[in-house]
Amino acid sequence: MKLLRFGPKGKEKPGLLDADGMIRDLSAHLPDLGGAYLGRARLEVLAALNPADLPIVPANTRLGPCVGGVGKFIAIGLNYSDHAAETGAEVPPEPVVFNKWTSSICGPNDDVLLPRGSKKTDWEVELGVVIGKAGRYIEEADARSHVAGYCVVNDISEREYQLERSGTWDKGKGCDTFGPLGPWLVTPDEVPDPHDLAMWLEVDGHRFQDGSTRTMVYRIPYLISYLSRFMSLQPGDVISTGTPPGVGMGQKPPVYLKPGQSMRLGIEGLGEQRQTVVGDEAL
């Protein structure tokens, strides 16, 4: 299934994408697409519905983030060998873990706001993993049973805040609108191998990122097991698993986002996002 959320900001309803590309309203069957409704049993109930029996949602309706009420938005840095190489960094001996604040989450096609004074805001197309079953000290062999689905993430990053100021990466990663999620939450039955997906990102029509999840260093079962050593993972948590090469910081010379530019990005089988960059000073 391709599950989604639609409607005005803060008032999103759950839906699904049918085989003809039409959005269908699921709100008669669950109040939202959040952690409490992402378990395998609930997803099986939704999968048994006949989409033709569900109301059609108008095609121009806004898409919200594909998961509501996210508890933790966890991200992994330098997790693609070719991206680590372009930044001049060593592949880390353990996963690099940082936070994206949940207030950064927005819809897949919402505007991206440049923080006031920002000069080095960058893009990163990433594979997101959404947790559907809680766990601590999860065994790697059992990790996939904890996955509700996968989605596209744009891990937008202000590089000066992230790398040139003291402290952790977090303050350059969690600004408002720096975490578009979606368009869809795609259930695992439609993603037989999440480590063999093409992924790409364009700015103003120029393709900067053109990679694959094949070059992921620490793979999803390991990441889930690793993270669960340090925190419980809860239904609705999102893990953003790293980016392939082609980020703005890696260009020669570096290239960063400016107001008025547009981003288009996607992952094979998981859909596309489109965002316009807006200067926060104008708001």
- Is residue 55 classed exposed, middle or buried when 0-12, 13-18 and 19+ CB atoms within 10 A define those classes? exposed
On whether residue 48 sits in a domain, the answer given is no
On whether residue 43 sits in a domain, the answer given is no
Rounded Cα distance between 183 and 190, Å, is 15
Tens of pLDDT along the chain (283 residues) come to 999 999 999 999 999 999 999 999 999 999 999 999 999 999 999 999 999 999 999 999 999 999 999 999 999 998 998 776 777 777 889 999 999 999 999 999 999 999 999 999 999 999 999 999 999 999 999 999 999 999 999 999 999 999 888 888 899 999 999 999 999 999 999 999 999 999 999 999 999 999 999 999 999 999 999 999 999 999 999 999 999 999 999 999 999 999 999 999 999 999 999 999 999 765 5
| Beta bridge partners of residue 126, listed in sequence order | 153
- In this prediction, residue 283 carries a pLDDT of 54
What domain count does the chain have? 1
- In this prediction, residue 280 carries a pLDDT of 78
- In this prediction, residue 92 carries a pLDDT of 87
On whether residue 27 sits in a domain, the answer given is no
On whether residue 96 sits in a domain, the answer given is yes
On whether residue 148 sits in a domain, the answer given is yes
On whether residue 217 sits in a domain, the answer given is yes
Q: Report phi then psi at 90, rounded to 5.
A: -75, 150
Q: Report phi then psi at 102, rounded to 5.
A: -65, -20
CATH of the domain at 121: 3.90.850.10
Give residue 247's domain range: 67-282
On whether residue 41 sits in a domain, the answer given is no
- In this prediction, residue 87 carries a pLDDT of 74
**Structural contact between residues 166 and 177, judged by C-beta atoms closer than 8 angstroms:** no
**Structural contact between residues 226 and 139, judged by C-beta atoms closer than 8 angstroms:** no
Peptide bond into 253 cis (omega under 30): yes
Q: At 173, list the tokens.
A: 């990663």
- In this prediction, residue 86 carries a pLDDT of 77
On whether residue 5 sits in a domain, the answer given is no
